Structure 1
Amino acid sequence: MRLYHGSNVDIQKIELSKCRPNKDFGKGFYLTSIKEQAERMALRVSKMYGRTPFVNIYSFNEKVLFGGNLNVRIFEKPSEEWAKFVITNRNYKRIETVEGDNNFDSRYDIVCGPIANDDLALLFRQFSDGLISVETLVNEMEFKKLTDQYSFYTEKALSYLLKTGVENV
């Protein structure tokens, strides 16, 4: 399968240390199977930090996700488990006692699932503040059109990505 990463640079070598924390699935290298999504991200990052928008293109054999060589977490669709995982990873520094699952220690080599886009930010905030129940959160998420993300956390996982190209946006 092809995976895309939108950026403001042509990535020659993926450096996990440069990845930003507090993302949906933790600090990792994020890609998508949707080229247009990567293009939008490249434009957004370039607008924020300057430079030229690029889409870095990778080949990835998705059979690796089920081969048993890597510790992989897959969320097929939004769920209570997915929402709590995302909220915990995004709010790590603000949580005194971390409950539920997370990827702070890169226990997963790869995590795949829906993107918690801006449409969900209000729902997450309402849930975190105790204003809505987890059932309401999950029900409301079902009406949102969500896109996918594949996040890589270890050098072992990155070894399965093969860069095949780069395009200016």
Structure 2
Amino acid sequence: MNKAWSALEKAPEGSFKSKLHSLGLKLLSRVKPSEIFLKSIPKQLTGVEVVFPSSLNPRLVRRRLRHIALRGTIVHKNYFYGSVTLLPVTSAFAGSEKLLELVSDSSKNRNSPEKDHGNAAAENDSEKETHPPLIMQASEELERLIGDGNDVSKCTLKDISKVFDLNTMDVLKYHQQQN
């Protein structure tokens, strides 16, 4: 990560990498110093030495450190709960990415510009990856159930759900969202 950050820092002025570095610096400047301090504490730490000016009361220094740690814990728990709450939404995005991968032309995946043509190992690894084929299947039974397709009723959707073993409530919700 440090090497990548250094590369961004050394990028020519005005380049995309330079702009990305500037954006990163702006974002980092918004991070509270106490967060940077808390991040610097390794989990394996078994003791800590705190150096402070002799003019300060040791109890006040300890109280301040406890306050920083407690406040950080509360903030991190809130972010954790927020992340857990948003997990279903983010997993839906991951599902849509997977669907896009499955319905995209597999020849595009094999000839992507990201592929390292100079590296034989990378080529062998990409050849080992097999993407399931997209199976398209026309259904005369679905055609019969839909009819002319101009106005699909709830009864029709329920019948389609039964025949194709779909969750009726999900189908109805999706249909409602589309209209």
TM-score scaled by structure 1?
0.20
Q: Which has more radius of gyration?
A: 2
More helix by share: 2
Greater share of strand residues, 1 or 2?
1
TM-score by length of 2: 0.19
